[in-house]
Amino acid sequence: MLKKVMPLSAILALRFLGLFLVLPVLSVYAISLERATPLLVGIIVGGYALTQALFQLPFGTMSDRIGRKVTLLIGLLIFLLGSVICALSDNIYLLMLGRFLQGAGAIGSVITAMISDLVSEEVRGKAMAIMGGTIALSFALAMGAGPIISAAWGTPMLFWITAALAVAAMILLFTKVPTPPRITHTYHETARTADIFKDPNLLTLIITNALQKGMMTVAFVLIPLILTAEPFSWSKSELWQVYVPAMVMGLLAMGPSVVFGEKRNKPKAIFLASIVLFIIAFALMGWSTTGWMFGIGVVAFFVGFNMMEPLVQSLISKFAKVHQKGAALGIANSAAYFATFIGGTFAGLMLEQSHKEGIAASMIILGIAWLLWTLRMSNPIRYAHLYLERSSVDMAKLEALEHAHIAEWYINETEEKVVIKFAKEQIEEEALKASLSKI
């Protein structure tokens, strides 16, 4: 499983590493450009996410028609072009164009689809957790490296590094990523998008993914601008002093959260703890009067983000039925990208109209509402999968199969398999086989 998932996760991680590298210093760099305003700076910080959201569905559809690998190559080429334009930009509007192009190479849904193609149902949750973990790792590394590289060689160098990472991802795509099989599934239920929103757990995860990413953008607009202004008056070269400790603590928190959330099946507790940390973080960042207090707020934010990030995609794949997974992941990711753009725009607009305390108060109120909503969420039920040869199954019995402890069944037509997802502790596997046998 790792040989199939890690190359794809690495491609996504390289892309996100490039996007995240500039976040710690982007707002303070953009505000120095010609014709810059706080609102335009906020749009630039979150701008890539708007085009990312808009192009998720077209890229997913294109990958179904022309193939996953070719679609990934097109997305990476667009991302490369956007990175080069950002590196060469000398005004706020050219930088904005580059950021929009970076997001237009929206390959996230394609990679998720490829992982679904390549790994079996019962390990798909682990595969999604690995993908989320690599994104969280790239986020943490970027927070430490971005300010240091920017201070030493300038912010445009970060965009050149991003371009190089895009090239590395292309090489990885054609040397390590296997070509996925074309698999057609037949289900006993009709896929309806409305059902995703009716499921309280999936709806909570969609909201969680959106708010987590939206608050991240708000934080990255605020952190460098606040620290480089009065009363702190830090230089850009000093920003690493707050980001590196946050990176280290975020990495340390990520491992235990995965163990507790995945292996012990307690993701709800991790989510609630992360949201509390977000609330504490914005309170400290909004009302700090000293650099060390502000730094504790930044650390709290990064720890909360990294605790949550590896679990979100995995949980969506667990709660969604097999015929909903693609749609559920697509909706959750699109919501996250839109929230990222809105978060940056909101923070920039608020900076023109208000002050850091007002922004922090807004985030705290939103965080409390988020916390109360998440209390509704359940921990996922642990299911097993039974694989049967289609020729051995009585289809009439299968069509009539209804049981409180059977989540779903579907037919893999390519492999001629019937797959049944059931609660192993409640149903005996042999009895289930016997109930469906033609004999």
pLDDT confidence of residue 386: 86
* Measured CA angle at 83 (ends 350, 62), to 5 deg: 95
CA-CA-CA-CA dihedral for 306, 301, 164, 34, to nearest 10 = 160
Q: Which residues of the chain have pLDDT under 70?
A: 1, 120-122, 124-125, 180-192, 322-323, 326, 439
293 vs 135: CA distance, rounded Å: 28
pLDDT confidence of residue 295: 94
Last residue of a domain, one of 327, 355, 374: 374
Place of tokens 């201070």: 151
pLDDT confidence of residue 126: 74
pLDDT confidence of residue 268: 95
Contacts of 355 (CB under 8 A, 6+ apart): none
Domain that holds residue 204: 2-374
Same domain as 293, residue 424: no
Q: Order of strands, edge to edge, in the sheet holding 406-412?
A: 185-187, 406-412, 417-422, 384-389
Assess if residue 379 is contained within a domain: no
Assess if residue 424 is contained within a domain: yes
Same domain as 367, residue 398: no
pLDDT confidence of residue 187: 55
* Measured CA angle at 96 (ends 90, 100), to 5 deg: 135
Burial code of 211-243, b = ≥16 C-beta within 10 A, e = fewer?
bbbbbbbbbbbbbbbbbbeeeeebebeebbebb
Same domain as 394, residue 255: no
pLDDT confidence of residue 33: 92
Q: What is the DSSP letter of 231?
A: T
Return the axis-axis angle of helices 124-153 and 23-30, rounded to nearest 10°.
40
Same domain as 408, residue 352: no
Report the candidate in 4, 110, 106, 124 with the shortest Cα–Cα distance to residue 67: 110
Q: Which helix (H) or strand (E) holds 421?
A: strand 417-422
Look at the chain and report how many structural domains it folds into: 2
418 vs 415: CA distance, rounded Å: 9
Assess if residue 268 is contained within a domain: yes
Same domain as 396, residue 345: no
Same domain as 273, residue 182: yes
393 vs 324: CA distance, rounded Å: 24
pLDDT in tens, 52-78: 888 887 887 788 788 888 999 999 999
CATH classification at residue 153: 1.20.1250.20
pLDDT confidence of residue 431: 85
What is the chain's alpha carbon radius of gyration, rounded to the nearest angstrom? 23
Report the candidate in 233, 347, 358 with the shortest Cα–Cα distance to residue 287: 358
Same domain as 143, residue 270: yes
pLDDT confidence of residue 207: 96
pLDDT confidence of residue 410: 80
Same domain as 404, residue 350: no
pLDDT confidence of residue 398: 83
Last residue of a domain, one of 374, 408, 424: 374
Same domain as 419, residue 350: no
Burial class (CB in 10 A: 0-12, 13-18, 19+), 434: exposed
Same domain as 370, residue 388: no
pLDDT confidence of residue 279: 98
Same domain as 351, residue 235: yes
Assess if residue 317 is contained within a domain: yes
Burial class (CB in 10 A: 0-12, 13-18, 19+), 260: middle
pLDDT confidence of residue 183: 53
Residues in the chain: 439
Same domain as 115, residue 78: yes
